[in-house]
A and B are shown apart, each in its own frame.
Chain A
């Protein structure tokens, strides 16, 4: 669970955040610290794919939010992960 793009999408699922807020949030819920280069590399890719968007603000700390496409992509990925998790847990119990 260290894919930076998935972690960013998950971080933005409850509302818009700027870079540093995303970094702190991810460290808190996933216990993964994304470096500044990794974080902004992932932000660049997500914005290019249209999964996140900049939120208009006049500040240096630029907030981002999920787009509709980003929300769908996150739902698909979490559904897939959920299936994998359920299968793994069930099989571990049966073993």
Chain B
């Protein structure tokens, strides 16, 4: 029996055994052994293991679990969200690809920056009232786009489109979906409209709570384990973060202006063409970029008196050396079927907008080839530009047509349409001072931990 008790005593932590092992051994020799003593020693060894080895991590785990519970609970306190959704069926086209493109085209028109801005600010809707006080309109529109969705579903042979919008007010969510549906054309058949309370995203909040709780728990453990070392490296991290964050105010502020154009390949047919596929768009872009972004055109843009770009750089560099800077600050990328985003960043927000506008104009003029610039309109959405030879005469006609266009106007061939005109940025996009400060904090913590490594073993 005593042998079993001595073996069980080996389960105590090494540090504890070094301290009390000898005298516990003496006690076991003196005392009359009982079976209950075996259980008593096993229980004591378990408690001591937890106290010495796991007690720190128990705190971290407990705080993390508390964070998880608080995060999940918080999700139920947040205001409810409502999702309004409508199921639409369109008159079936023989060309199903065309049918999807046609709906996509209408959806793009209905959700341009201008359309959404009008909807947000309309007094009857008055969407995102509080958010608009804190954020520029550009960001509010982007937020609304995240809450809007369109999905294609196939039920048997029928193709249906589901349009949905999420908003804290059920009535307004439904009103937005109704308005968007009305813009989807007369041949759409409304099948079902549902507005439901959206369950709170409990797990998203719980994940945040878990992350914050875990960080707080680890910090608590470190403070209990090596308070001096922990405080020193936190102080070091905060000092580096504040220094780098402060220095970031010396960096130039950049504004980004964006425009969106829609592309459809020339077909020569008498009805609107399908949208460009991704591969077609990339091929088109390669060709247009060669024409629009050649050195001579960009050099002309830089020197244009109204723009006068990169003035300080031009003082000590040749024009040929400055042109790559404009290319660096310009981005042209596909964003959705047939849609291309053109963005340009510059320290002056007005010049950022004017340059983006000029590049869009160049892109469209280049598309028109031999057309004189005066006859190339750069207008907001829903004004389609006609390009092929058959449509050239028709194009002039479209400009003077009353709205809605008569039946004949539908025969035009679309090539480039301006969905979102170049924006005037209200808030800077760079430098992101929060990211810089957080990166500075991380670097400071690592350097601080390395510099004070001798304190860990103290």
Interface residues, chain A, with chain B CB atoms under 8 Å away:
18-20, 23, 35-41, 43-44, 60-62
Minimum CB–CB distance for A38 against chain B, Å: 6
**Quick one: which of B5, B20, B22 has the most chain A CB within 10 A?**
B20
B residues engaging A (CB < 8 A)? 5, 16, 20, 22-28, 30-31, 36-37, 39-45, 47-48
Contacts of B40 in A (CB 8 A): 35-38
CB < 8 Å: which of A19, A37, A38, A41 contacts B23? A19
Contact (Cβ within 8 A) A61 B23: yes
> How far is B44's CA from A19's CA once the two chains are assembled, in angstroms?
15
Q: Are B30 and A60 neighbours in the complex by a CB distance under 8 Å?
A: no
A-B contact pairs, 18 of them (CB 8 A): A18-B27, A19-B23, A19-B24, A36-B5, A36-B27, A36-B40, A37-B40, A38-B44, A39-B27, A40-B44, A41-B44, A41-B47, A44-B20, A60-B25, A61-B23, A61-B26, A62-B22, A62-B26
The reply to whether A36 and B20 contact each other, CB–CB distance below 8 Å, is no
> Which B residues lie within 8 Å of A43 (CB)?
20
Closest to A39 in B: B27
Q: Which partner residue on chain A sits nearest B41 by CB separation?
A: A37
**In the complex, A34 Cα to B176 Cα: how many Å?**
75
Structural contact, A36 and B44, CB atoms closer than 8 A: yes
Judging by beta carbons under 8 Å apart, are A40 and B26 in contact? no
Contact across chains for A20 and B44 when beta carbons are under 8 A apart: no
Q: Do A36 and B47 have beta carbons less than 8 Å apart? A: no
Q: Chain B contact residues: over half helix, strand or loop, or mixed? A: helix
Q: Is B48 touching A41 in the complex (CB atoms < 8 A)? A: yes
Q: How far is the CA of A23 from the CA of B31 in the complex (A)?
A: 9
CB distance from A5 to the nearest CB of B (A): 14
In the bound complex, how far is the Cα of B286 from the Cα of A54, in angstroms? 84
Nearest chain B residue, comparing its CB with the CB of A41: B44
* Contact with B44, one of A23, A37, A61 (Cβ below 8 angstroms): A37
8 closest cross-chain pairs (CB), A and B = A37-B44, A35-B40, A37-B40, A60-B26, A20-B30, A62-B23, A37-B41, A19-B27
CA distance A23 to B20 in the complex (A): 16
Query: How many Å from the CB of A56 to the closest CB on chain B?
Result: 14
Measured between alpha carbons, how far is A41 from B37 in the docked complex, in Å? 13
Query: Given A36-B31, A41-B48, A44-B20, are A19 and B41 also a contact pair (CB < 8 Å)?
Result: no
By a CB distance below 8 angstroms, the chain B residues around A20 are 26-27, 30-31
CB distance from B90 to the nearest CB of A (A): 76
In the complex the two chains form, what is the Cα distance from A35 to B38 in whole Å?
Answer: 9
By the criterion CB–CB under 8 Å, are A44 and B25 in contact? no
> How distant is B229 from chain A, measured CB to nearest CB, in Å?
22
Report yes or no: A60 in contact with B23, Cβ–Cβ below 8 A: yes
Q: Are A23 and B41 in contact (CB under 8 A)?
A: no
Answer whether A40 and B36 are a contact pair too, CB < 8 Å, given A20-B30, A35-B41.
no
By a CB distance below 8 angstroms, the chain B residues around A60 are 22-23, 25-26
